[in-house]
Amino acid sequence: MPTPGAGLKVRSMTIGILALQGAVQDHERVFARLGASCRQVRTIADLDGLSGIILPGGESTVMSMYLREYALDDAIRACVAGGMPIFGFCAGAILLCSEVDGPGGRVPGALSLIEARATRNAYGRQNASFEEELETNLGPFPGIFIRAPRLEPLGSSKIVGRRRPEHGGEAVFLRQGKVLAASFHPELSGDDRIHRLFVELCAPA
């Protein structure tokens, strides 16, 4: 299991995890293994002093509604504009994308922080969940897909992970600066490399 490098000030970090709805505890366990503290984010005040923020999987429509209700959408955008890294997983990735395709047509994403298009439930509903090895900039990685969106890079976003060619080769992991989006669930894989990448991104210069 990867462990933090000696050069990283991991103990001084606090990673926020949006906790309005969705899977929170699995991410908390990964960051605990990496030595970083976590804070559940439910209000604007919870954003104060964070090193980075995670948008977990869940139900993107419900999460979008709560973001607007508690004015967290504008507050999170301001934090990211100020340099805070952010990482969205599955439903969290949908929130980050600039365009979202769904049954009602194409709409802007709730946060629109990465130039990319998400298509909800592109790989099937809950009973179509699957696992497969992915190709990523970190090497082969176990991908766990649960009601996963398809991600299509637009503009300046870059592909940092995709399905293998025999499975179609689609993008599943995107990055644009300090904004990351993944359609799969590395927090369930037992492999901490992707979360460690985020910890490194959150480390003070």
Catalytic residue numbers, as ranges: 90, 185, 187
| Helix axes of 193-202 and 25-34: crossing angle, nearest 10 degrees | 70
Torsion angle, alpha carbons of 89, 91, 118, 133, to 10: 40
Which one-letter DSSP state was computed for residue 44? G
Look up residue 89 and give its two tokens: 């997983």
Give the CB-side neighbour count of residue 193, counting CA atoms within 13 A.
10
Contact 106, 147 (CB under 8 A): no
The rounded distance, in Å, linking the Cα atoms of 152 and 158 is 10
The rounded distance, in Å, linking the Cα atoms of 141 and 46 is 32
